[in-house]
Amino acid sequence: MASEALQQLIEGMRAGGLDFAGDLNKAREDFEALLATMPVDPGLEFEDMELGGVPAVFCRTGAAHAGALLYLHGGAFVSGSAKGYRGLAANVGKAAGVVTYALEYRLAPEHPFPAAVDDVLAAYRALLDSGMKPEKIVLAGDSAGGGLTLSALVRMRNEGLPLPAAGFLLSPWADMTCEARSMKTKATEDPSLNEEGLRFSAANYLGATPASDPVASPVHADLSGLPPLLVHVGSAEILLDDSLAIAARAGAAGTHVQLEIWPEMIHVWHSFAFMLEEGRAALDGAGAFLCAQLGRQHHG
């Protein structure tokens, strides 16, 4: 049975959902307004900066010598911002005990694929050039940012870059064909996303690129030779099958993958850790996983 806090959250979402299939400027404004209502730890300080020419928001959530998190925000590739997601990014960085960089990658349709992936690689190269060792860097992202995390890891491997220690995918969107069964079977359960909005956003993101492109839709990629992956998804998500496909493909290819399907949880429930016990538990578990991959003991 869903907790009272989760029921309240779902009711609120159903009452005022975002429409990514309508006016994009309005959707962007509405989404930023929603993100601005999310509590951010008042003890944290954020600083605007650049990584490899890409804007980012930095937060000292841990010690730099312990490592760094490169965080990729959600928003269906067409909306969202590093500032809007700074609280969630910082919570993941804090759980892992490393400093956090939330990346302001370019959005579609103004900058279609592969602009966002290019930005992630530019930022990652800048971290390496600064002297940070790859085994001290972790990548994470939610929703579109989760898919983008996997896309970036595939590109890094393809280009022969030294790979980071781990990837953490929160409710990832990684299949731009939008053909997965859960798009329909979970449609009534998911209060956050709908197939129409995702198809519209996918078309904006892809531009002239086919939806089956293995970097744009990394569920279709060869996932061998990647660093260990942690995938979190809720059972009440239309994107459930994206996570199942990632785990099956990565595991079959010999990549270490840990898939967690959280009962009744909604899209990126980690964002609501301030009110959901499951959100806090998911962040703590992710922190333990990331610390293990970084070769450190977790003190959650």
Spatial separation of the C-alpha atoms in residues 38 and 211, rounded to whole Å: 33
Among 124, 237, 235, 132, which residue's Cα sits nearest to residue 174? 237
CA 17, distance to chain mean position in Å, is 20
Q: What pairs with residue 72 in β-bridges?
A: 103, 141
Q: What is the CB neighbour count within 10 angstroms for residue 118? A: 17
Give the active site residues.
Answer: 143, 237, 267
Radius of gyration of the chain (CA): 17
Spatial separation of the C-alpha atoms in residues 279 and 283, rounded to whole Å: 6
Q: Residue type at 74?
A: G
Which residues have CB under 8 Å from 294's CB, separation 6+?
Answer: 66, 67, 96, 98, 135, 136, 138, 165, 166
Among 222, 247, 227, 244, which residue's Cα sits nearest to residue 235? 244
> Edge-to-edge strands of the sheet including 257-262?
46-51, 54-59, 99-103, 68-72, 137-142, 166-170, 229-234, 257-262
Q: Can you read off the two tokens belonging to residue 182?
A: 């859960």
Task: Determine contact, residues 49/41, Cβ cutoff 8 Å.
Answer: no
Which residues have CB under 8 Å from 242's CB, separation 6+?
Answer: 147, 172, 173, 174, 175, 180, 182, 219, 233
